[in-house]
Amino acid sequence: MRHLSKLYVQVLIAIVAGTILGHYMPGLGEQLKPLGDLFIKLIKMLLAPIIFASIVVGVARMNDVHSAGRVGLKAVLYFEVASTFALAIGLVVVNLFKPGAGMNIDPAHIDGASVATYAQKAHQQGGALDFIINIVPNSVVGAFANGDMLPIIFFGLLFAIALARLGKPVEPFIDILDMFLHGMFGVVRIAMYVAPLGAFGGMAFTVGKYGIGTLASYGELILCLYLTSIVFIVVVLGTVMRMCGLSLFKFLRYIKDELLVTLGTASTEAVLPQMLVKLERMGIPKPVVGLVLPTGYAFNADGTAIYLTMAAIFIAQALNIDLSLWDQLVLLGVLLFTSKGSAGVAGAGFVALAATLASMHKIPVAGLVLLLGVDRFLNEARALTNLVGNGVATVVVARWEKKLDLAQARAVLDRRELAPAGTTPASETPAYTSVVPAKAEGHRA
């Protein structure tokens, strides 16, 4: 019974129960969608203030503001390399296994009405220039009200740099923001008590609405995406973690609660506050965690990158549209832009795919209808990969900056006692040890 008190056990039970209920009582399963939506909405309510306060407190307390720019530059460089690897691996696998070949669907018989909303959103996103312009919000209040992550990060950085330049007089204000951040993480811990209900509702709705039979119909595509994601995580991210001197599998064990919540809700945003705390507890300084992780949610969607290449080529194969090597390389280039800025919520990858197809003029956007029934199952794979990818990215940048407390990280991942207070260098001491006890597990993390 002791294990039932742990969050990951509760979420795992909820996922299994939701799948069973959705399969045998699909009507009731569909009606449980509000449970999943309510949990995600509860967490999203907290994201804007948490991201803003994390960035401001972390960057403002840097002795050298230039180091914030250096951390940001290194993060962006890593994001681009990782995303390119993900896109290329997806492209190779989908051409190797050809999951859409043999479907022989006539494009003229596709009803694009059901994907019109996604196409409209993709059109509103505009091109790369519009993406850059939209990073600057029309209104700071509007950015917070809408939960627009990139504008919040942008304003947070500017505000933090301004505070850092003012120096000692604003230190009390920064301390107040830090206390506010502690309070917000307290609210997160309360919210995580209902995570099993969110996972239960999300899985019951997915299986109830689309049916397990959908898995069989698109089995090859689903299998390809999940296997490719696993290969990317184990081989690419595993190699990166070894280069940092840490074990990927121990890291996955450490964030198992967050992985299961992401699986149940198909949203990485649902666990962003928890990841901020856990990464800092590993010995990664607040400025690195607060800057790299939220930015990675927008710029480092490895799972979405894999999905986009495989989904685009799958639609072309199903519609018997022949894409030359040059066409696929152009597709790869377009995806390097459209895969950026996708939020960590369910459906964002679908909008990015619509934007990609609309800009290519080779594959009809209406072809998205082929993926409507199965997208939720695919979304879980890309959300999990995104989560792991951004966690690893934060570790990499911290190690690159020589700010990672390797002894602390290994102690946490090995489930050993952390160093007593005062033995860790002040610049590398986790900021939330008073909020998150060293032995905390489950929803206490």
Cβ neighbourhood burial of 120 (10 Å; 0-12, 13-18, 19+): exposed
What per-residue confidence (pLDDT) applies to 65?
Answer: 67
> For 57-76, how does the pLDDT look when each residue is reduced to its tens digit (9 = 90+)?
878 877 666 777 888 889 98
Domain membership of residue 445 (yes or no) is no
- The full 3-state SS of the chain, as one line of letters, equals CHHHHCHHHHHHHHHHHHHHHHHHCHHHHHHCHHHHHHHHHHHHHHHHHHHHHHHHHHHHCCCCHHHHHHHHHHHHHHHHHHHHHHHHHHHHHHHHHCCCCCCCCCHHHCCHHHHHHHHHHHHHHCCHHHHHHCCCCCCHHHHHHHCCHHHHHHHHHHHHHHHHHHCHHHHHHHHHHHHHHHHHHHHHHHHHHHHHHHHHHHHHHHHHHHCCHHHHHCHHHHHHHHHHHHHHHHHHHHHHHHHCCCCHHHHHHHCHHHHHHHHHHCCCHHHHHHHHHHHHHCCCCHHHHHHHHHHHHHHCCHHHHHHHHHHHHHHHHHCCCCCCHHHHHHHHHHHHHHCCCCCCCCCHHHHHHHHHHHHHCCCCHHHHHHHCCCHHHHHHHHHHHHHHHHHHHHHHHHHHCCCCCHHHHHHHHCCCCCCCCCCCCHHHCCCCCCCCCCCCCHHHC
How many domains are contained in the chain? 1
Residue 79 lies in a domain: yes
Task: Provide CB contacts within 8 A for 421, sequence distance 6+.
Answer: 433
For the stretch 188-223, pLDDT in tens is 888 888 888 988 988 888 788 877 766 666 788 889
Instruction: Specify the pLDDT at position 115.
Output: 55
Q: Which residues contact 385 (CB under 8 A, 6 or more apart)?
A: 86, 229, 232, 233, 302, 303, 306
298 in a domain, yes or no? yes
Q: What gap in Å lies between CA 119 and CA 113, rounded to an integer?
A: 10
Host domain of residue 255: 2-438
| CATH number for the domain that contains residue 170 | 1.10.3860.10
Give the pLDDT score at 440. 35
Cα torsion 215, 219, 225, 227: sign: positive
Over its length of 445 residues, how does the chain's per-residue pLDDT go in tens digits?
Answer: 666 777 778 888 888 898 899 889 989 988 998 888 888 888 888 888 888 888 888 788 776 667 778 888 899 899 989 988 998 999 999 999 888 887 777 766 665 555 555 555 555 555 556 667 777 888 888 888 887 777 888 898 889 888 888 888 888 998 899 899 889 888 888 888 888 898 898 888 878 887 776 666 678 888 999 999 999 999 999 999 999 999 999 999 999 999 998 888 878 888 888 999 999 999 998 888 988 888 888 778 888 889 888 988 988 888 888 888 888 888 888 777 766 655 444 456 677 777 777 766 778 877 777 787 677 778 888 889 999 999 999 999 999 999 999 999 999 999 875 544 333 333 333 333 333 333 333 333 3
Distance separating alpha carbons of residues 336 and 14, to the nearest angstrom: 36
Amino acid 339: pLDDT: 67
CA of 20: how far to CAs of 206, 264, 378, 380, 435, in Å? 11, 13, 19, 18, 37
pLDDT of residue 59: 80
8 within a domain of the structure (yes/no)? yes
Task: Work out the angle at residue 279's Cα, subtended by the Cα atoms of residues 242 and 131, and round it to the nearest 5 degrees.
Answer: 95
Q: How far apart are CA 209 and CA 206, in angstroms?
A: 5
Query: Among 60, 341, 27, which residue's Cα sits nearest to residue 211?
Result: 27
Residue 444 lies inside a defined structural domain of this protein: no
Q: Give the predicted TM-score (pTM) of the model.
A: 0.77
